[in-house]
């Protein structure tokens, strides 16, 4: 899959791009099942809300076959290679839960701010590409983006260690207000299998989920190989040190895996 000229223009101007229907329900269903199995473990990679509900699971591509295939899927890798003009490695991989009734806030922040401060990433030549595993609705804590905010570079931020179970470099209210006055706020919603791509400096956040509807999203942080991290301070399973270029799998790989799981369950 490649982005067309208009999609590339939109990404450059607004800092984000939404691609509905990238993955079939059969592909997404197997990811949901395996995500729940991962959340049920007590692995160090699984972080929880203060209530005990799952918040995020890191590095699933290193210990789960379905998420390994997703992490090398050409529908995700090729568009980002196209934007950066070079091969990619996986800087970070996480499955954010935003559990029904218990999914907590993700404060206003820029991802590259963390990658630069905590991992020594030289430039914002990395971005998140998100795969919706559930329907993301206006009511269940959708990701909120501030269009054009990526054009302001790395903004001053404070290290919030108190609000949630996950430490985050967050922006103050005055900064967010100023950026929103310029670019507004959008909250992309869509069916399972939709994909959202956004710039590493794009300001974003999400509200708590107090509905009965979970909002699970897989995030691949794909980084240009030449832009590898220099001084990582976080564990390897949060900020990876394997800078090997990703070799995309076959386009049918995830669907083939889903079919094999169905066959195994039927036997």
pLDDT (tens digit per residue) in 169-181: 889 999 999 999 9
At 104 the pLDDT is: 85
Q: In what order do the strands lie in the sheet with 54-58?
A: 16-19, 195-199, 126-132, 217-224, 88-96, 54-58, 46-48
At 66 the pLDDT is: 97
Task: List all residues 6 or more positions away from 262 whose beta carbon is below 8 Å from its beta carbon.
Answer: none
At 50 the pLDDT is: 87
Domains and CATH numbers, the chain: 5-266 (2.60.120.620)
Residues 76, 130: Cα–Cα separation, whole Å: 9
At 106 the pLDDT is: 84
At 73 the pLDDT is: 98
At 19 the pLDDT is: 97
pTM for the complete prediction? 0.93
Both tokens assigned to 69:
């295939």
Q: Measure CA 93 to chain center.
A: 7
Q: What is the pLDDT along the chain (267 residues), one digit of tens a residue?
A: 889 999 999 999 999 999 999 999 999 999 999 999 999 999 999 999 889 999 999 999 999 999 999 999 999 999 999 999 999 999 999 999 989 999 888 889 999 999 999 999 999 999 999 999 999 999 999 999 999 999 999 998 887 676 666 777 889 999 999 999 999 999 999 999 999 999 999 999 999 999 999 999 999 999 999 999 999 999 999 999 999 999 999 999 999 998 888 777 776
At 165 the pLDDT is: 60
């Amino acid at each position: 899959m490649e982005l067309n000229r208009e999609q590339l223009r939109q990404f450059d101007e607004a800092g984000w791009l939404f691609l509905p229907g990238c993955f079939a329900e059969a592909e997404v269903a197997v990811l949901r099942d395996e995500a729940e199995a991962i959340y049920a473990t007590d692995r160090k990679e699984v972080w929880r809300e203060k209530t005990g509900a799952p918040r995020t699971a890191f590095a699933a591509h290193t210990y789960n076959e379905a998420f390994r295939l997703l992490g090398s899927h050409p529908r995700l890798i090729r568009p980002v290679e196209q934007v950066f003009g070079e091969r990619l490695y996986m800087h970070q991989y996480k499955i954010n839960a935003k559990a029904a009734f218990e999914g907590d806030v993700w404060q206003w922040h820029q991802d590259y701010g963390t990658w630069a401060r905590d991992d020594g990433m030289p430039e914002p030549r990395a971005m998140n590409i998100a795969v919706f595993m559930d329907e993301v609705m206006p009511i269940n804590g959708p990701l909120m983006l501030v269009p054009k905010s990526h054009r302001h570079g790395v903004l001053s931020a404070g290290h919030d260690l108190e609000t949630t179970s996950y430490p985050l470099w967050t922006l103050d209210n005055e900064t967010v207000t100023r950026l929103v006055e310029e670019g507004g706020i959008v909250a992309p919603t869509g069916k399972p299998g939709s994909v959202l791509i956004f710039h590493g400096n794009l300001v974003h956040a999400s509200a708590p989920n107090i509905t009965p509807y979970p909002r699970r999203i897989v995030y691949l942080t794909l980084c240009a190989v030449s832009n590898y991290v220099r001084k990582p301070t976080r564990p390897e399973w949060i900020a990876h040190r394997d800078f090997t270029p990703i070799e995309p799998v076959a386009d049918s790989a995830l669907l083939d895996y889903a079919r094999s799981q169905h066959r195994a369950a039927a036997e």
